[in-house]
Amino acid sequence: MSPINLIEEARRRIHPYIKKTPLTYDPNLEIYIKWENHQVTGSFKARGAFNKVLTLEKWELMRGLVAASAGNHGQGVALAGNLFKVPVTVFVSENAVPSKILAIQALGAIIRLVPGCYGDAEKTGLEYALKEKSNWISPYNDLQVIAGQATIGVEILEELPHSLETAWIVPVGGGGLISGIGLALETMQEQGKKSKKNKTLIGVQSEASPFFYHILNYQSQEHAIELPSLADGLAGPVERNSITIPIIKRLVNDIVLVTEREIEAAIFYAWSQHHEIIEGSAATGLAAILSGKIKHRPAIVIISGGNIQPEIHYEIIFRLDNSLRKF
């Protein structure tokens, strides 16, 4: 099935279960902002999770769903399993955000805590799914998941039909979101029979977890070093031979890295200027704009989610607000 058919089918499938999220314009920064923090479960991940689960046959669903997650993907899979009365097991790093773990549990999923980082949880979860012959719902290494995420791009293009050649700025972890956006842009260009390719699809990662940055620039993630980051949802290595790797190499113009301080500044900006609560992973694109690392204008920035630990959000806002008041 062609990408355009995959995306169209995904949109039809998930329409009853997800929200069309707001798209607003920020005149100060000259950017459009897509607020996926308003999505069900507070993250874009529900789109891909629902699309994948809805493609499974009844006999497959009876085997249960297994996922690994930093938090948001697990909530999407758990919600789908809850609605369709399917058992869900989610493998999560012991260092995952507590509020995200609780949210997954509240949706009825069984949590398996794994020592180490996200990569350890993903490896353990995949091994478990193979052993139990359950359905492995990858957060990114699956065409149906990618097609679900691509529906964000379709929504934006319907509201901004002249935005094909605008800069699109997207957070990158395993690459499912930016792969979906890239495929949506490509298919819309082909439909419009435009010869000019979009040259400004830009991914953003934290310096603390630059795995895809290394893949794109050094052809290997072997020497990427992972450190603690506010962008927890983007952390961890990419599954070997993930389908997102060739898609990103073909469609993404660049991947930019931002610091933890720049991520904090973006979280503060979203709250102070738009009264929006966003998480660290979601703030990376806005951080790249605010820091001047991405200068393209106009631009479309994807805010991928809002599931930040409440006390961490409060501390950032309180500290940066007090800092500004001193001047």
Q: Are the CB atoms for 284 and 266 separated by under 8 Å?
A: yes
> Among residues 23, 42, 43, which one has the least CA distance to residue 31?
23
Considering the domain architecture, whether residues 85 and 173 belong to the same structural domain is answered as no
Residue 327 is assigned to a structural domain of this protein: no
**Domain edge (last residue) among 93, 108, 136:** 136
Residue that finishes a domain, picked among 78, 109, 136: 136
How many whole angstroms separate alpha carbon 148 and alpha carbon 40? 14
Whether residue 325 lies inside any domain: the answer is no
pTM, rounded to two decimals: 0.94
pLDDT tens per residue, range 130-189? 999 999 999 999 999 999 999 999 999 999 988 877 999 999 999 999 999 999 999 877
- Do residues 156 and 235 both lie within one domain? yes
% of the chain exceeding 90 in pLDDT: 88
One domain, residues 38 and 94: no
Range of the domain at 86: 46-136
CATH number of 169's domain: 3.40.50.1100
Report yes or no on 192 lying in a domain. yes
Residue 326 domain-assigned (yes or no): no
Which of 119, 136, 153 is at the close of a domain? 136
Start-to-end C-alpha separation, the chain: 58
Q: How many domains does the chain have?
A: 2
166 and 32 fall within a common domain: yes
Q: Is residue 254 part of a domain?
A: yes
* In a shared domain, residues 151 and 254: yes
Q: How far is CA 155 from CA 22, 248, 275, in A?
A: 10, 21, 23
Q: Are residues 131 and 169 in the same domain?
A: no
Which phi and psi angles does 62 have, rounded to 5°?
-60, -20
Are residues 167 and 259 both part of a single domain? Answer: yes
Is 1's pLDDT higher than 90? no
Q: Is the pLDDT of residue 49 over 50?
A: yes
Peptide bond into 139 cis (omega under 30): no
Note whether 155 and 95 are same-domain residues.
Answer: no
- Quick one: 80 and 222 in the same domain? no
**pLDDT of the residue at 324:** 73
- Cα–Cα separations (whole angstroms), residue 204 to 161, 207, 252, 259, 298: 24, 9, 11, 11, 17
Q: What is the pLDDT of residue 317?
A: 97
pLDDT tens for each residue of 221-260:
999 999 999 999 999 999 989 999 999 999 999 999 999 9
Within this chain, do residues 219 and 104 fall inside the same structural domain, yes or no? no
Residue 240: inside a domain: yes
Residue 263, domain member (yes or no): yes
**202 has which bridge partners?**
169, 254
What pLDDT is attached to residue 177?
98
